[in-house]
Amino acid sequence: MATVAYGTSSAAELDTLKAFGDEVLLQNSLGSRLVALYYEISPPLADFISEHEALRTLVRELLVDPVVWVVEATEPLWRD
């Protein structure tokens, strides 16, 4: 879904989210379940979002960008 929101798979923000997922979320059972849930519900949502430019913008600006901001702001706490 984040890839669709940015319109490219090479956005730097996606690298930040992947690093957080790999280094934090996938290191514990709750985080692993959240990642699994994301990958379960994300494809149909991404398909729908990809067909609506205004929705892509809203998802990016109101959901994904704030999450990326928090992850980047807390990076010294979780990055090895």
Domain ranges in the chain are 2-78
Q: Per the structure block, which two tokens stand in for 23?
A: 């280094």
Give residue 50's pLDDT.
Answer: 94
How far is the C-alpha of 22 from the C-alpha of 26, rounded, in Å? Answer: 5
What element of type H or E holds 59? helix 53-59
pLDDT per residue as tens digits for the range 2-49: 999 999 999 999 999 999 999 999 999 999 999 999 999 999 999 999
Category of 11 on φ-ψ map: left (φ > 0), alpha (ψ -120 to 50) or beta: beta
C-alpha closest to that of 64 among 19, 16, 27: 16
**Where residue 80 falls among pLDDT bands split at 50, 70, 90?**
confident
How far is the C-alpha of 32 from the C-alpha of 30, rounded, in Å? Answer: 5
